[in-house]
Amino acid sequence: MFYGVDKINAFALAMLNQAELDDLLWSIAQGVGEIMSFDDCVIYLRNEDKLVQMAAFGIKNPKDREIFERIEIPVGQGIVGTVAETGVAEIVSDTRTDARYINDQFQGLSELAVPVIYEGNTIAVIDSESNKTDDYSEFEMALLQVIANIAAPRIASAQYRLELQQTQLRLERSNNELQESLAQLAHNQTMMIESEKMAAHRLALQLVISIPLTMIICLRSQRV
């Protein structure tokens, strides 16, 4: 099978135009599916000790940006989890003979999975399954690994951008909460001062009321 360099170049350029993580992952899934002529392609993004299906092409993507029955796979489990843990791409020619195989939407008979590695860490896995045995070649695995290597820094950059946005939102929310707290404190202080003034006024009034009238007359006569 011939894979045009122009398609790979267009794929790389398309990734450069995607700044948001979600847009980028869907672009990668579609690009891989079209370049490699796969019936199925799923992008798993690593989230601590789990791999989460984030974008798909083909069978797992019935319409728009929907993933049919999204699953999560622990790192180290299944073929995808093993690739994430070892950082080594794998071809499974017959999944029926591999106990690690995790059945997803359909019973794939062969599987290809490659790690997306950035600065020595697996941040994602690109996975494809076929309904035929022995349906992936060493050349396809090597080409998919090249694509994964191209995608790695873009995914890492988009993740960092998302983290910055989330941090900024948290800071803005915290700042708004702080401003509200300060405003409430200022309001409480004003109410306390007014309350103290009213209490002092009432106390003075009570003192005046409690002084006998004869004492007031006496005080006035003394002044005269």
Give the pLDDT confidence score for residue 86 in this predicted structure. 98
Residue whose C-alpha is closest to residue 103's, from 147, 126, 69: 69
**Domains of the chain by range and CATH?**
5-152 (3.30.450.40)
- More confident call, 205 vs 87: 87
The two tokens of residue 210 are 């409690």
Give the pLDDT confidence score for residue 133 in this predicted structure. 96
Could you read off the pLDDT of 114-166 as tens digits, one per residue?
A: 999 999 999 999 999 999 999 999 999 999 999 999 999 999 999 988 788 77
Cα separations in angstroms, 25 against 32, 42, 192, 205, 223 = 11, 10, 56, 76, 94
Does position 220 have pLDDT exceeding 70, yes or no?
Answer: no
Per the CB < 8 A criterion, the answer to whether 15 and 150 are in contact is yes
Give the pLDDT confidence score for residue 14 in this predicted structure. 78
Does position 60 have pLDDT exceeding 60, yes or no?
Answer: yes
Cα-Cα-Cα-Cα dihedral sign, residues 142, 144, 150, 156:
negative
Per the CB < 8 A criterion, the answer to whether 129 and 49 are in contact is no
Cα separations in angstroms, 6 against 9, 51, 53, 145, 146 = 5, 31, 28, 17, 15
Give the pLDDT confidence score for residue 217 in this predicted structure. 54
Concatenating the DSSP letter of every residue in 153-218 gives HHHHHHHHHHHHHHHHHHHHHHHHHHHHHHHHHHHHHHHHHHHHHHHHHHHHHHHHHHS-HHHHHH
Contacts of residue 188, Cβ cutoff 8 Å, sequence gap at least 6: none
Does position 197 have pLDDT exceeding 70, yes or no?
Answer: no
Give the pLDDT confidence score for residue 172 in this predicted structure. 74
